[in-house]
Structure 1
C-alpha cells in the first residue's frame, strides 16, 4: 500500500497537537543531522503532513528551527516568579543559583539542538536565523527582567547594569552547554554542582555590582580585511623566513574565509594570495581545517601568552588594577576575530567536521593551561586561596565568547547592539565575585 497522508487524518489533528508533532519531529532531525541536511520535505513526510501544512504553521524551516530552539523555555518567566517570591531575604545567592539551575535544566537536554544552531550559522539561512534568535532572546530577557524586578520589590531589582548581567549569564550558560567539549574538562557536565556554584557566584541580579568606569572597546560588526598579496607582487619579493610565510598564509586565509566563506575558498586560492605554493601550505598546516583553527584561535592564545609575560613583571597591586584591562583585551581579541570564530563554531559543530571540532577542543585546552598558570601566579602574589580557579577561568571565557562573538544573540536590544564598554565593565566586575575561598 503506497504511503499517503489522507485528508481525514490531517483534519483530525488539532492545531496544538500538529504543532507539537512538528516541533518534536524537527528537534530529532535537526539534532541528528544538523540544520542544513534536514529538509522541509523530510520533516513533513515523517510528521505525516504535506509541506504546505508545514508552511502554514511556521512559514519556513528557519522559523520552525527558532521555535524548536525556544520551546524548552516554556514558562520560564512564571517559574522564575515562583523562585524569587519564595526566596528567603536572609539567604544570599538563592535567586542567582536557582536562575542558573533554571537555564541549565531547560537547555541541557537540548544540547544537540544548540549545536545544530551553531552549525546553521554557515547555512544560507544564517543571517535570518541570527536576527530571529536575537529578537527572541531580547524578548525573553525583557520578560525575565520584569519578573525579577516585580517579584520581590526592594530585594531583587533589575537595574540598567543588572540587565547586562542577565544577558551575560544567559550567554555564558548557553555556551557552556553548546561548547562543553571546548570549554569544560573531560568528564564534567554543566549541571555538576561544582560548576553551578561557580556560575551562580558570577551573577548579581540585585544591582549590587560596582562596574569599573574604565572604558572598554566598542563592539563592532564589520572588520576591515587585511590587504591581499597578489601573485605578481609576491613573485618580486625576496625569499621569506618560514615564520613570515606562515603569517602570510594566515593573513590570506583570514581574508578569503571572510570574503568567500570557508567552503568556497580553495587551497590554491590561499596559496596564491599568500604568494606561495599549495605544498608549502600543506607543510605548514596540513589541512584547511587546521588553517581555520589556527587563524581563529591563535590571536586568543597569543593574547594570553603576552599577558602572562607582562604579569610576572608586575606588583600585586598592579595586577589587581590591570584585571579590567585583561578582560577588555580578551574581549577585543575575540571581537577582532569574530567572523572567523563564528565560522569555526559553525563548521566544527557540523557532523561532517568532527576532526575540526577535536582540533579546536585541543587548542582551547592549551589556552586554559596558559590561563591557569596566570591565575595561580596571581593568587600566589595576592596570598589568597582561589575558589575553583580552573572552572572559573573556563566560565569567564564562555562569558566573553558570548559577548564578543554572539553579541547579536545576547546583547541586541531592539535594533541596537549594547555598547562594548558597558559589557566589558560588567564582565570585569563579575570576574572577582566569589573568586576567593572565604
Structure 2
C-alpha cells in the first residue's frame, strides 16, 4: 500500500497551491480569519503546514490570495476571450456587460470573505492592506493594458485607462457590497439583469467621456 505522505510528495506546486487556496477559502468563509489556523488549513487541504508557509509565506498572504484568486482567474479568462477576438473587433457594450455581470456575481458570491478581509484590514492587521493592494494592482495593470490597446485600435477618446479600470471595479464592488441596502427585499427593486445593464451603461458612458 502506498502511504499518504508519498502521495502528497508527488503533488505539483500548482496542485498544492490550489488545494490550500480552496481549503483556506472554505474555512475563512465558515469561521472568519482569526478563528482559523494554518494547521487547520493544511489539514483540510491534505498538505503539510510547512508547504503552506513555503507557498504563501504567512497566513495573511494566504488569506488575501484565497479571497482575490477567483477575481484574478475571472479577469484572466475575460482577457483571454478578449485577445481571441482581437483588438478593434469587439463589441464594447456587450463586452462591458459581460465583464460587469461576471464581476458583480463574483462579488455577491464572495461577500462574506470580502467583508472579513475589509474587517481585518481596518482592525490594523499590518500585512493585509499591502498584500491586497499588490494583488489588486496586478489585476488592474492587466486590465489597464488591454483597455489602452483597445481604445487605440478603435481610435476612441476615453478617460485615462488606469482610472477607468479602477472606477469601474469600485462601482461594481460598491453595488455588490451594499446590495441589501441599495435594493431592500421589502421594497420593489430591479432584477439582476437590469442592475448589470445599468452599471455597464454607466461604465461605458463615463469611460468614453460622453455627457
Q: Please, what TM-score do these two structures have when normalized by structure 1?
A: 0.44
> Which structure 2 residues correspond to residues 239-318 of structure 1 after superposition, within 5 A?
239-315=10-86, 316-318=88-90
Partner in structure 2 of residue 432 of structure 1 = 204
Partner in structure 2 of residue 326 of structure 1 = 99
Shift in alpha-carbon separation, 1:317–1:282, aligned structure 2, 3 A:
same
Residues 122-149 of structure 1 deviation map (CA, whole Å, 9 limit, x = unaligned) = xxxxxxxxxxxxxxxxxxxxxxxxxxxx
**Residues of 1 paired with 2:193 and 2:208: CA distance?**
26
For residue 373 of structure 1, report the CA deviation from its aligned partner: 0.8
Residues 206-233 of structure 1 deviation map (CA, whole Å, 9 limit, x = unaligned) = xxxxxxxxxxxxxxxxxxxxxxxxxxx9
Work out whether residues 61 and 127 of structure 2, in 8 Å CA contact, stay in contact via their aligned partners in 1.
Answer: no
Gaps of 5+ in 2: none
**Residues of 2 paired with 1:421 and 1:235: CA distance?**
49
- Asked if 1:390 corresponds to 2:162, the answer is yes
Partner in structure 2 of residue 349 of structure 1 = 122
For residue 385 of structure 1, report the CA deviation from its aligned partner: 2.2
- Asked if 1:407 corresponds to 2:172, the answer is no
Larger Rg: 1
Partner in structure 1 of residue 112 of structure 2 = 339
Q: Secondary structure at the match of 1:312?
A: helix
**Residues of 2 paired with 1:416 and 1:248: CA distance?**
42
Work out whether residues 235 and 275 of structure 1, in 8 Å CA contact, stay in contact via their aligned partners in 2.
Answer: no
Shift in alpha-carbon separation, 1:244–1:385, aligned structure 2, 3 A:
same
Residues 76-129 of structure 1 deviation map (CA, whole Å, 9 limit, x = unaligned) = xxxxxxxxxxxxxxxxxxxxxxxxxxxxxxxxxxxxxxxxxxxxxxxxxxxxxx
**Residues of 1 paired with 2:24 and 2:189: CA distance?**
28
For residue 410 of structure 1, report the CA deviation from its aligned partner: 2.9
Q: Secondary structure at the match of 2:159?
A: coil
The more displaced of 378-387 and 400-409 is: 400-409
Gaps of 5+ in 1: 1-232
**Residues of 1 paired with 2:78 and 2:4: CA distance?**
34
The root-mean-square deviation of aligned C-alpha atoms, in Å, is: 2.3
> Which structure 2 residues correspond to residues 15-414 of structure 1 after superposition, within 5 A?
239-315=10-86, 316-320=88-92, 321-351=94-124, 353-414=125-186
For residue 252 of structure 1, report the CA deviation from its aligned partner: 0.6
For residue 408 of structure 1, report the CA deviation from its aligned partner: 2.4
Shift in alpha-carbon separation, 1:324–1:234, aligned structure 2, 3 A:
farther
Q: Secondary structure at the match of 2:85?
A: coil
Partner in structure 2 of residue 102 of structure 1 = none
